[in-house]
Structure 1
Amino acid sequence: MKSIVVVGSINMDIVATTDQYPVHGDTVFGHSMQMFSGGKGANQATACAKLGKQVQLIGAVGRDAFGQEVIRTLTENNVDISLLTYTESKATGCALVTIDKTAENTMLVIKGANDELREEDIIEKFKDVEAGSVLLIQMEIPSKTILQAVKLAKEKEMFVILDPAPAAGVTIEALQYADVITPNAQETYELTGIKIDSIESAYKAGVYFDHQLGVSNSIIKLGSKGALVYQKGKTFFVDPIPVQAVDTVGAGDSFAGALACAVAEGEALESAAQFAAIVAAMKVTKPGAQKGLPTLEEVTAFCQEHGLNGYRTQLQ
C-alpha cells in the first residue's frame, strides 16, 4: 500500500445556481448562493481522505478568512496539511461558479495564493515525501512549480497521475513525466486538436498522446458517456454510471482522487478507473466539490444498492 501526495490548488468556491447562464452584458436571476471549500488540489486530496487514505497536500493559502475556512475543512476531512505554504502577499484562491439547470458549470478562477507556490517550496516540501508513493497533480498552479514536482517525483520513483486541468493551464512539458494522464474531452481537444465525441475519437486521442506526446497511458473522460482507458495501444471502456446530476463541480477531481486511491492499493488502471467512475458519479448527485464527496462506506452501499458488485468497492 502506497501513500498519496497531492500537489495543487486550494480555493474558496462561491457557487450560484440559475436556470440559464446570462449572455454577455445581460442580467438574470439565480436561485441560491453558497460557499464551499474547493480548488483542484484540495478537492482531490479530500477525495482520497474521505476514501480512507492517508494523503499529504502541498499547496498555498493566504492568511485570510477564506484561508482559515479551507484549512478548517481540510483538517475536518483528515487531510494532512503539514506541507502547506502560507503567504501574506496574496489572498486565498477563489472560484466564482455558476451552475445551470442541467447541472453543468462555468467557472471564473482567481488563482491568488496558488500562484505563490514556488519551485523552492516544492524542493523543501519533497524532503518529507515518501519515495515510491503516488503523486497526484493538476494545473492550477505555476507551470515551473508543476515541472519541479513531477521531476522530483520521478527521482523518488513515484507513480505520477497528472490531471491536465484546467485546459487553459495545460503545461505540455510536464506530460512526459506522467505515468498516466486523465483529461476530459475539452482538455483532450486542447492537447491533441481531436474533438472527442465517441469511443473511436477517444482512441485516436490516446494514440496521439502515446505517439506524439510520449504518454503511453491515458484515461480519457467522456463525461456521462463513460471513459476510455488507453494503455500502450490496448484499450478498455469504462461504462457510465447513470445518476441524476445535481452539481458537476469537482466531478473530475473526485475521479482523480479515487483513481489515486486504487492505484495506491496496487489496482490495475482498468479496475482503478471503474472505481473512479463510481465515485465521480456519486459526487455529482450532491452539491459542493468537497462536501459532496462520498466516503468509502457510502461507495460500498451505493454499489450494493445498484448491483455494481462486479466493480472493486473495497480499499484496504
Structure 2
Amino acid sequence: MSATTPPSIAGSGASIVSFGSINADLAAYCRALPRPGETVHAERYKIGLGGKGANQAACAARLAGSLGIGVSMVGRVGNDPFGALVRDRLAAFGASLDHVRVDADNPTGIALIGIESSGENSITVVGAANMAIDSTDVDQASPLLSAARVLLLQLETPVAASLEAARLARAGGGIVILDPAPAPEHGLPDALWQLADLLTPNETEAEALVGVRPTDPASASACADRMQERGLTRCIVKLGARGVYFRDRDGDGFVPPFAVKAVDSVAAGDCFNAGLAVALAQGKVLGEAARFAAACGALATMRAGAAEAAPSLDEVLALLG
C-alpha cells in the first residue's frame, strides 16, 4: 500500500473532524431506470462530491466558516482525475484536506446513481480507496484527532480504523458522533457503542440496531431505551418528515418537523449530522443542537444532490427564526 499526503489546501487546527468516505457521485437522470439487460438513454448527467464523510465535512465547513470553527477531513482518494475533482470540490467548501491521503494503489471511491423522473433511484457504490483506510491514516492524523472538539464517524469505511480514531478523540476530550449508515447487517461492535457519545440513526437504522422501528416519539423513546442499555448516554433518533427525538442525562425531547418544500432527501442525514457537530462545537445543549441540526437537514431537502445541497448558516438561522 502506498499513500501520500497532498499539500495543505485549507487551514489546520480544526475543531470538527470528519473521518470517513470520499466519493465521486456520477448521477444519470432518465425517464425510467433500466431493467436487467436493458439500455436506456439518459437526459443528462452530473458528477459531484459524495460519500458520507465528505458530505458531512462539506456541510460542516459551509456552516462553520463564519463561526471561527475549523473543519478537517480525514480519508483517502485515488491518484486519478476523480480524486483531483473531489479534493477541489471539498476544498471549495472550506474544509482542510491536510489529512486526505492520495492512494497510489486504489482508485477514488465512486457512486453510480440512476435517477428516474419519478424520483426513484438506484445506486451502486464502489468503496475503492475508502476501504483501504487503516491504522496508518489514524496515526498520520493522530494530533488532529486528539485535539478534535467533535469527531464525525460513519460506516462507509473500515470499522477498525474508526474505532482507533474514536479512542483518540475521546481520550482528548472530544465528542464522538456516529452516523450508523449504511445500516450494519450484523450490528455494531460493542466497543463502538462504548466509544460513541452520540448515535444518530434514522428509522431503518434504528430498527436494524435495536429491533424497534420508530414512527413517533413514543417508539423513538423505546429505541433510546435500548440504545442506552448498550452504553450510550446520549442519542438522537431521526424520524424523517416526522421530526427528531433526542435524549441525554438531563431528559428527552422532540423537535417537530420544519415546513419546507422537499425536492430531494439525499443529503438530509449528512447535513443533519454536520449541523449537530457545529452546534455541539459551539457548546449548545443537546436539545438546542438537535433543533439546529434538524433545520440543516430540512433545508438540505430543498435542493437536489449531496454535498451541494448543504445550507448556509444564514439560511439555517432564518429557518430557526
TM-score, reference length from structure 2:
0.87
Amino acid at match of 1:157: G
Amino acid at match of 1:10: I
Amino acid at match of 1:255: F
Residue 99 of structure 1: how far off its partner (Å): 3.9
Q: CA contact under 8 A between 1:105 and 1:249: conserved in structure 2?
A: no
Q: CA contact under 8 A between 1:258 and 1:275: conserved in structure 2?
A: yes
Task: Map 1:149-164; keep pairs closer than 5 Å.
Answer: 149-164=165-180
Amino acid at match of 1:222: L
- C-alpha distance in 2, partners of 1:234/1:99? 41
- C-alpha distance in 2, partners of 1:299/1:93? 30
Counterpart pick for 2:16 among 4, 28, 35 = 4
Q: CA contact under 8 A between 1:143 and 1:171: conserved in structure 2?
A: no
1:72-128 deviation per Cα after TM superposition (whole angstroms, max 9, x unaligned): 111111110001111111110111224455656543211010011111220221123
Q: CA contact under 8 A between 1:99 and 1:247: conserved in structure 2?
A: no
Task: Map 1:163-242; keep pairs closer than 5 Å.
Answer: 163-168=179-184, 171-173=188-190, 174-211=192-229, 213-232=230-249, 234-242=251-259
What are structure 1's unaligned runs of at least 5 residues?
A: 310-316
Residue 216 of structure 1: how far off its partner (Å): 2.3
Distance 1:42 1:132, change over 3 A: closer
Task: Map 1:61-100; keep pairs closer than 5 Å.
Answer: 61-100=77-116
Distance 1:234 1:300, change over 3 A: closer
- C-alpha distance in 2, partners of 1:65/1:197? 43
Counterpart pick for 2:46 among 24, 28, 34 = 34
Distance 1:166 1:237, change over 3 A: same
1:164-217 deviation per Cα after TM superposition (whole angstroms, max 9, x unaligned): 111147633312101111111111111011122222211111100011x11121
Query: Would you say how many aligned residue pairs link Structure 1 and Structure 2?
Result: 302
Q: CA contact under 8 A between 1:49 and 1:79: conserved in structure 2?
A: yes
Residue 12 of structure 1: how far off its partner (Å): 0.6
CA RMSD of the aligned region, Å?
A: 2.1
1:59 aligned counterpart, secondary structure: strand
- C-alpha distance in 1, partners of 2:154/2:248? 21
Could you say which residue in structure 1 is the equivalent of 2:161?
145
1:106-165 deviation per Cα after TM superposition (whole angstroms, max 9, x unaligned): 432110100111112202211234536111111111011111111111111111111111
Distance 1:106 1:194, change over 3 A: farther
Could you say which residue in structure 2 is the equivalent of 1:112?
128
- C-alpha distance in 1, partners of 2:142/2:118? 41
- C-alpha distance in 2, partners of 1:227/1:24? 38
Q: CA contact under 8 A between 2:150 and 2:177: conserved in structure 1?
A: yes
Q: CA contact under 8 A between 1:38 and 1:289: conserved in structure 2?
A: yes
TM-score, reference length from structure 1:
0.88
The answer as to 2:281 corresponding to 1:264 is: yes
